[in-house]
Amino acid sequence: MVALNRFTMSDLARQKRVEVDLDGGVLSRAHSVAQAVEHYRDRMQIRDAGLRWTAFSRGVMLDGKRRLGELEVTDTEWTVMPEVSAG
Q: Is residue 12 one of the residues assigned to a domain? A: yes
- In the prediction, which pLDDT does 73 show? 86
- In the prediction, which pLDDT does 42 show? 93
Q: Is residue 87 one of the residues assigned to a domain? A: no
Q: Is residue 56 one of the residues assigned to a domain? A: yes
Structural domain span for residue 78: 6-82
Alpha helices in the chain (DSSP H): 33-44
Q: Is residue 24 one of the residues assigned to a domain? A: yes
Average pLDDT along the chain, 87 residues, taken 10 residues at a time: 78 88 86 94 88 92 93 91 78
- In the prediction, which pLDDT does 1 show? 44
| CA 45 and chain centroid, separation | 15
The model carries a pTM of: 0.87
Apex CA 80: angle with CA 79 and CA 82, to 5°? Answer: 135
- In the prediction, which pLDDT does 8 show? 93
